[in-house]
Amino acid sequence: MPSSAEQTILARVTAIIPESELNSWEQEELVECLAPLSGHQQELILHQIAVIWPVSHSLCLAFLEAAEPALACLDPEQFAAWVRAILHCYEAQGLQEARRFMADLESHFICTLKGQSGLLLSTIKKRLDLYLRGVAGRPFVLAEATLPGTDTATIFLPRNCTFFDEDDANFLVYKLIASLQWAFVRVNLYCQEVPNEQELFRKMTQPGSGPKDEAVFLNRFFKLFARPDRAMAIYHFLQTFSALCFLQKKLPGLMADSTVYFQSVAAEGAATMEPQSLLAGEYGFLLEQLSHNRPLELPPGPWRRLCHPASWDDSGQILLDTARIYALWEEKPDQEVASPPWFQGTLQVEAAHARRLARRQEVEQQFIEALAIRILPALARKKEAALAPGATPADTPQQADSAADLSLRLPTPQNEPEETGPDHNQVVRHIRLDDEKIGLDSKLQELGREIMDDLGHLPQLYLDSAEKMAAGRSYAPHIQTAGPEGEPLLGTSLYDEWDFRRQGFRHNWCRLLEKEIQPCGGTFIATALKEQRGVIKQLKRQFEQMRSHHRFVGRQRDGDDIDLDALTEAVADQRAGLPPSERLFVRQLRDQRDIAALFLVDISSSTEGWVGKAIKEALLVMAEAMESLGDRYAIYGFSGMRRTRSEVFRVKEMDEPYTETVQGRIAALSPKEYTRMGPPIRHFSKMLATVEARVRLLIILTDGKPEDYDDYKGEYAIEDTRHALVETKNSGIHPFCITLDTKAPEYISHLFGAANYLVIDDVKKLPRRLPDMYRLLTS
Amino acid sequence: MQGKRIEEHFIDVEPYYRVQGQELTIALAAHQHTIPLLLKGPTGSGKSRFMQYLAWKLRRPLITVSCHDDLSTSDLVGRYLIRGGETVWLDGPLTLAVRHGGICYLDEIVEARKDTTVVIHPLADDRRELPIEKKGEILSAPPEFMLALSYNPGYQSVVKDLKPSTRQRFIALELTYPSPDIEAEIVQHEAGVSRQEADKLVRLAEMTRCLEDAGLQEGASTRLLIHAGTLIKSGIPPRQACKVTISEPLSDDHELVAAIDEMISSLY
Ligand SMILES: Nc1ncnc2c1ncn2[C@@H]1O[C@H](COP(=O)(O)OP(=O)(O)OP(=O)(O)O)[C@@H](O)[C@H]1O
Ligand SMILES: [Mg+2]
């Protein structure tokens, strides 16, 4: 039986977390953690639980364990900041990393508070990322890790840099280690399979040795040796030498700027490295040259004699050189290998291998898809020809349900003597579908080349898959392109969401899917147009008057035409002996409207009644009126369920002509699920921001408050929507709301601002009020 | 522009132009067969220079009009002016070029209004005539006359695009940034710097061009490299020269400018 103190705590907890979300085991755990604390501490922690629980239950439980010790050294404000940092860490890197972050309160957080953290990667990440993108010519992902390193797609850098006191100097360190990791990728840090592996390995060791079961080539190589760590150290040293040479050549300014850093590293190394240890002297030698920005050379003696840096791009040479040095070390069995300077980072052989396999798959997928699209027309033509009445009946059945007798082949020197086969120049420029030659576009050629570079050939399997995919599509294109609900998916994007309790964003929290509505036929449009005939006619007239128009101003010094009145006057003046005016022209001026509007319609299930008829009529009337006005406009619907499936439905794109298809899509609008407003607002603000117009409007039609199935409700939902609207305004777009919620005045001006909304009490008025409102807003 | 006599539009001295590919052959063929020319390409990629060179090569006067929002038909065709109480007709640049069989080059054509661009339609198809409405006259273009337009697809927004009916009257040549070798040669020639210096500038330009996916509107053009080279040549320290000629002009975004500065300091 729980004590009364425990029961009070339990009551507090269940006030924050709905009982339905909490099992008894979790309840117990929460109460147990909180019970020993003082009332004040409990309050502080409970407050944060409210923030963390909705994000992740496991994170919340982990937080409870770490909270008490943290409270011992943080004041309440710092405590809140710490929680924000935890959440940030969780969203960026996951639970594991967040646990680590909490455990390491001292170095991760207190240092930052005390200003001892040096330069944080997070503060300079953007700049470093842009820098690296330019230097490397391609983007790398920058991520935090204890030691620098790379898997060839991500570059890992430490969380902070405290090497120097000044930020600028620390930035240079970041820049150097990031550039060095790029250089490693360029000099091929992770040597890949060589075609004659066995032969190569035989040159290095006694026959028969070496593991066969190791999947990664470089590991197979290291394990040839009795002491793989030694081989690895030598190999890494050689690669570091190679990468630094590359940097000296490519980024001389960087290497000149870094001399001070290298001097300090050299001094530190001299103090800490065991001088007798292996590689200590070699690293010292490198650092000495780097400290004076002299062109790098290998250490004198055996290194120079045995190694051939000039041929390291040849597959295998650097491995042979590694083996030679290794052999030399056999005479020094007892010596330790020195730990290399920190900036060199670590080798991530497995990660790089995994990356390579992932890339291989990506490329395979892309190649197959692109190829399928490429051959689709030709394939369809052939099918059609086969099914045509003239075709022999015996042929038809097989051809209709399998593509077996059509075959996609690579050009080979045999079937195409006039062509250079793919092996000659490593580029596949076309393929053959039966007797037809199909050229590959530059993207396919590029992918093809990457595949050949990686695998040495282009597998026939890829071609077969592409053919199958294309065959599937040419039979049932609708099934292939449609999403699970039947609406074709046009794209997905991720958006942040504002959490007012922590005054910060939940990063990449919501996934938004953009879909297309399948237009529907039926009589709705014709009937509505007929019913609203009067309104439309009147609106068209009104809107026409608002169009961009040209007007003339007379009596200008120059212009498009002569101002006859002024001229007559001037001639008369002159005749009369007066000096004639020189302002004798008319100039045409334009009053350009230059407005782009996006109508965003709430089609959540609560709109059942109005999406049914009034809203569709209103959109139709609006579109008709807009056509005579000439403003650019778009129409989208939005709905969704939970943060992972916010959906927007395209009715009319910004510059899409207003056609029967668009009318059909208006007619096809139907109520869907919930109203999470943040993601669509952010999505369309982003879209509108790219539209060039003097005035950009985001007009939202809704029937109530933002609300979703999950915890997107109440204050949280209002505040996120409000924040999204602030972001919208900040990007120069005017949001405006039309709502049918008669209780709206309680919250709507908080959302949109005083004059930026209109409440309509009767949905039937909408077809008339919507265009009226637009007219007022834009004239 | 207006009031300049046609003689003044001839180019006497051979302009420096480094041919990049087939552009000269194609342009000469276009001229020979009286087909108008559309030059596409980012800023500073040598479009204007190419036209100068072409005019010199063909020994025809080159009349360039920089298009803008307020350019009217009269600005192109001509207008009546009052001189000493008399009205006199003054040919616009387009009319001038048509009359004398010159080359009329409309720079940044998308900046002009749509109602202005239509006057070139009859001139750009096989009619090759220019109606001068105000004078009730129709000018026929002699075979030497050539119409050329330029535009920069990079800036092209949905608002500013050439109508297909305009586009499809032209032979289109794309002048992008030259290959590194040729670009270095141009920089070397124009700025008078060493080949090594020019190579470095071209490398920097390539780095900035990689930022086009990351928020930079356009990377450094050949023109900027020439500016940088010229300053370096005159003794200004390279980092500073590149900052004022490259990173600062390219963007106002603090992070982008800082990142380009870092590239500069890595190279120099
Ligand atoms: N192929 C080239 N040969 C010689 N010089 C060139 C060449 N390309 C560019 N340049 C140099 O670059 C400078 C800029 O070129 P130009 O003024 O012709 O560019 P543009 O394409 O007309 O640019 P904009 O669109 O901004 O008008 C020229 O002054 C010239 O020095
Ligand atoms: Mg120009």
Alpha-carbon gap, residue B212 to B154, rounded angstroms:
10
ipTM: 0.85
Counts of helices then strands in chain A (DSSP H, E): 34, 19
Q: Do residues A175 and A95 share a domain?
A: no
Alpha-carbon gap, residue A591 to B250, rounded angstroms:
32
Is B202 in the A-facing interface, judged by CB distances under 8 Å? no
Residues 6+ apart with CB under 8 A from A67: A33, A45, A48
Chain B residues close to A568, C-beta within 8 Å: none
* A199 burial via Cβ count (<10 Å: 0-12, 13-18, 19+): exposed
A468 occurs within a structural domain: yes
Question: Could you identify the residue written with the tokens 């050549």?
Answer: A249
Report helix, strand and coil shares of chain A as percent, to nearest 5: 55, 15, 30
Maximum Cα–Cα distance for chain B, whole Å? 67
pLDDT in tens, A421-473: 444 445 678 888 877 888 887 778 888 888 887 777 888 888 888 888 777 65
Whether the Cβ atoms of residue B67 and residue B108 lie closer than 8 Å to each other: yes
β-bridge pairing A436-439 and A430-433: antiparallel
Q: Do residues A106 and A205 share a domain?
A: no
Residue A213: φ, ψ to 5°: -85, 0
- Tokens representing residue B126 in the block: 């096989």
Domain around A462: 352-473
Indicate if the pLDDT at residue A477 is higher than 60.
no
Chain A residues close to B158, C-beta within 8 Å: 654-655, 691-692
pLDDT value at residue A751:
81
Q: Do residues B62 and B166 share a domain?
A: yes
Indicate if the pLDDT at residue A239 is higher than 70.
yes
User: What is the H or E stretch that residue A96 is in?
Assistant: helix A95-103
Question: Hey, CA dihedral for A567, A568, A570, A571, is it positive or negative?
Answer: positive
Whether the Cβ atoms of residue A429 and residue A458 lie closer than 8 Å to each other: no
Q: Whose CA is nearest to atom 14 of ligand 1?
A: B44
User: What is the H or E stretch that residue A512 is in?
Assistant: strand A504-516
pLDDT in tens, A77-135: 888 888 888 888 888 777 888 888 888 776 666 666 666 678 889 889 889 999 999 99
Residues 6+ apart with CB under 8 A from A152: A185, A189, A190, A352, A355, A356
Q: Which of residues 543-562 of A touch B (CB under 8 A)?
A: 558-562
Boundary (domain end) residue, out of A439, A454, A473: A473
Instruction: Look at B72 and A133 and tell me if their CB atoms are within 8 Å.
Output: no
The stretch B163-178 carries a mean pLDDT of: 85
Closest CA to A120 of A180, A162, A81: A162
Closest CA to B138 of B77, B83, B87, B187: B77
CATH of the domain at B44: 3.40.50.300
Does the predicted model carry a pTM greater than 0.80?
Answer: no
Q: Do residues A639 and A609 share a domain?
A: yes
Q: Do residues A614 and A568 share a domain?
A: no
A496 occurs within a structural domain: no
Q: Whose CA is nearest to atom 26 of ligand 1?
A: B43
Residue B83: φ, ψ to 5°: -125, 115
pLDDT in tens, A269-298: 888 878 888 999 999 999 999 999 999 999
Boundary (domain end) residue, out of B127, B146, B174: B174
β-bridge pairing A595-602 and A585-591: unpaired
pLDDT value at residue A413:
57
Length of chain B: 268
Alpha-carbon gap, residue A577 to A418, rounded angstroms:
89
Q: Which residues line ion ligand 2, judged by CB < 5 Å? A: B 48
Q: Where are the beta strands (DSSP E) in A267-306?
A: none
- Greater pLDDT, A418 or A456: A456
Q: Which residues pair with A154 in a beta bridge?
A: A141
Q: Which of B85, B158, B160 sits opposite A574 (nearest CB)?
A: B85
Instruction: Look at B158 and A257 and tell me if their CB atoms are within 8 Å.
Output: no
What's the angle, vertex CA A384, arms to CA A381 and CA A388, rounded to 5?
Answer: 140
Whether the Cβ atoms of residue B2 and residue B93 lie closer than 8 Å to each other: yes
Q: Do residues A580 and A643 share a domain?
A: no
Indicate if the pLDDT at residue A211 is higher than 50.
yes
Whether the Cβ atoms of residue A346 and residue A148 lie closer than 8 Å to each other: yes
B57 occurs within a structural domain: yes
Q: Which of residues 87-106 of B touch A (CB under 8 A)?
A: 87
Q: Which of B82, B158, B266 sits opposite A691 (nearest CB)?
A: B158
Domain around B204: 180-267
The Cα of A108 is separated from the nearest Cα of chain B by a number of Å equal to: 26
Boundary (domain end) residue, out of B174, B198, B221: B174
Report helix, strand and coil shares of chain B as percent, to nearest 5: 50, 15, 35
Mutate to test the pocket of ligand 1, among B23, B67, B222 (most ligand atoms within 8 A of CB): B222
Alpha-carbon gap, residue A373 to A471, rounded angstroms:
10
Q: Do residues B168 and B200 share a domain?
A: no
A754 falls in which pLDDT band (50, 70, 90)? low
Q: Do residues B108 and B135 share a domain?
A: yes
pLDDT value at residue A286:
95
Chain B residues close to A654, C-beta within 8 Å: 158
Q: Which atom of ligand 1 is nearest to the CA of B39?
A: 21
Nearest CA in chain B to A690: B157
Closest CA to A330 of A206, A192, A477, A488: A206
User: What is the H or E stretch that residue A599 is in?
Assistant: strand A595-602
Nearest CA in chain A to B211: A134
The stretch B99-110 carries a mean pLDDT of: 92
Instruction: Look at A133 and B210 and tell me if their CB atoms are within 8 Å.
Output: yes
Q: How far is the CA of B233 from the centre of ligand 1 (A)?
A: 19
Query: Residues with Cβ within 6 A of ligand 1?
Result: B 16-18, 20, 41, 43-49, 107, 152, 178, 186, 190, 222-223, 226
Nearest CA in chain B to A594: B159
Closest CA to A643 of A499, A511, A515: A511
Chain B residues close to A560, C-beta within 8 Å: 72-74, 79
pLDDT in tens, A500-525: 877 778 877 888 888 888 888 778 88
Q: Which of B74, B158, B207 sits opposite A134 (nearest CB)?
A: B207
